């Protein structure tokens, strides 16, 4: 049995990742496939907390001409749809889960309470964090950094559609250069677009490593928790 390097992780799943090829909404095959990946590390004994995005339904910046705070609240609500979809997919596999929302909606999910979230993880429940930070002008990447710091997660697994960080878009530029490792400052200075600067600064200040990898390869997530080199690692 291989040794697990990261025993408590935050897995950040963007809304787009749940849409499959549709780019919008939730694709049930895709969400089931992602749940299979999560099941693998869950069964290895890793404590898994998930931060889910909402971009497959709505992003605050899509609301051109709208009040930004309203547009952002719409985005936060979008994350709840994804969180419930993920909860359903995981529970259909027999994995116990709890959804916690940063904006109270008690009929649907628990409110975010840090100590309860930690207790759920200790009791081997997967915790899904919805509504981002609960504040407009933030992103779910920043939420991942914040929750990771709060619950003492050892790493952020940033699941992307591309398999790593590149110096330009590999789908457009066939000569795009892949980075195996980057520092937090590289992310901040090079504006690589992998995550926003608020999220990167929070990870830097709290020394939380980030592994950027593609979810398409089913073994990637397992390799990530074992500490094997995949995708791009971002650290000091």
The DSSP annotation for 101-141 comes to ESS--TTTSEEP-HHHHHHHHHTT-EEEEESTTSSTT--HH
Of residues 136, 170, 209, 214, which one binds ligand UDP by CB under 6 A?
Answer: 136
Which residues define the annotated binding site for UMP? 54, 72, 133-140
- Between 35 and 139, name the residue whose CB sits nearer to ligand UDP: 139
Q: Is 20 in the site for ligand UDP (CB under 6 A)?
A: no
According to the binding rule CB under 6 A, does residue 100 interact with ligand UDP?
A: no
Task: Note whether 15 binds ligand UDP by CB under 6 A.
Answer: yes
What pairs with residue 183 in β-bridges? Answer: 235
Q: What's the burial of 143, exposed, middle or buried (CB within 10 Å: 0-12/13-18/19+)?
A: buried
Q: Which one, 66 or 124, has the nearer CB to ligand UDP?
A: 66
Among positions 6, 42, 129, 138, the unique one binding ligand UDP when judged by CB under 6 A: 138
Return the number of the residue (53 or 231) whose C-beta is nearest ligand UDP.
53
User: From CA 95, how far away is CA 43, in angstroms rounded?
Assistant: 9
Q: Is 114 left (phi over 0), alpha (psi -120 to 50) or beta?
A: alpha
Establish if 75 lies at the interface with ligand UDP (CB under 6 A). yes
Nearest distance from residue 137's CB to ligand UDP, in Å? 6
112 lines the binding site for ligand UDP (CB under 6 A)? no
Which of 99, 94, 113, 7 lies closest to 52 in space, CA to CA? 99
85 interacts with ligand UDP by CB under 6 A: no
Using CB under 6 A as the binding rule, whether residue 140 contacts ligand UDP is answered as: yes
- For residue 144, give every residue at least 6 positions away whose Cβ sits within 8 Å of its Cβ, in sequence order, or none: 10, 12, 51, 156, 158, 199
Cβ–Cβ under 8 Å, residues 140 and 13: no
Strands (E), 164-227: 165-166, 178-179, 181-183, 210-214
**C-beta of 7 vs 200, nearer to ligand UDP:** 200
Of 35, 121, 130, 132, which one interacts with ligand UDP (CB under 6 A)? 132
For residue 121, how many other CB atoms are within 10 A of its CB?
22
| Orientation angle between helical segments 114-122 and 140-151, nearest 10 degrees | 70
The number of residues that bind ligand UDP (CB under 6 A) is 22
Q: Which stretch binds ligand UDP (CB under 6 A): 137-145, 161-169, 206-214, 217-225?
A: 137-145
What whole-number distance in Å separates Cα of residue 11 and Cα of residue 159?
A: 7
2 or 85: CB nearest ligand UDP: 85
The site for ligand UDP (CB under 6 A) is made up of 14-16, 53-55, 59-60, 72, 75-76, 78-79, 132-133, 135-136, 138-141, 143
């Amino acid at each position: 049995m291989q040794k697990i390097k990261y025993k408590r992780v935050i897995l950040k799943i963007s809304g787009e990742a749940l849409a499959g090829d549709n780019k919008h909404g939730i694709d049930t095959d895709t969400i089931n496939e992602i749940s299979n990946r999560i099941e693998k590390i869950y069964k290895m004994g890793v404590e898994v907390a998930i931060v889910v995005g909402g971009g497959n339904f709505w992003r605050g910046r899509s609301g051109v001409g709208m009040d930004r705070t309203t547009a952002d609240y719409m985005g936060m609500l979008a994350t709840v749809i994804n969180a419930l979809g993920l909860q359903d997919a995981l529970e259909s596999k027999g994995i116990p889960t709890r959804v916690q929302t940063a904006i109270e909606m008690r009929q649907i999910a628990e409110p975010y309470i840090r100590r309860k979230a930690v207790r759920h993880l200790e009791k081997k429940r997967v915790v899904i964090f919805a509504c981002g930070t609960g504040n407009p002008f933030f992103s779910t990447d920043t939420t991942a950094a914040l929750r990771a710091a709060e619950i003492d997660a050892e790493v952020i697994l940033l699941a992307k559609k591309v398999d790593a960080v590149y110096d330009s878009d590999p789908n457009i530029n066939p000569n795009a250069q892949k980075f195996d490792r980057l520092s937090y400052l590289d992310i901040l200075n090079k504006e690589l677009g992998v995550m926003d600067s608020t999220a990167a600064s929070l990870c830097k200040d709290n020394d939380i490593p980030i592994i950027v990898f593609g979810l398409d390869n089913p073994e990637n997530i397992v390799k990530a928790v074992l500490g094997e080199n995949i995708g791009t690692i971002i650290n000091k």
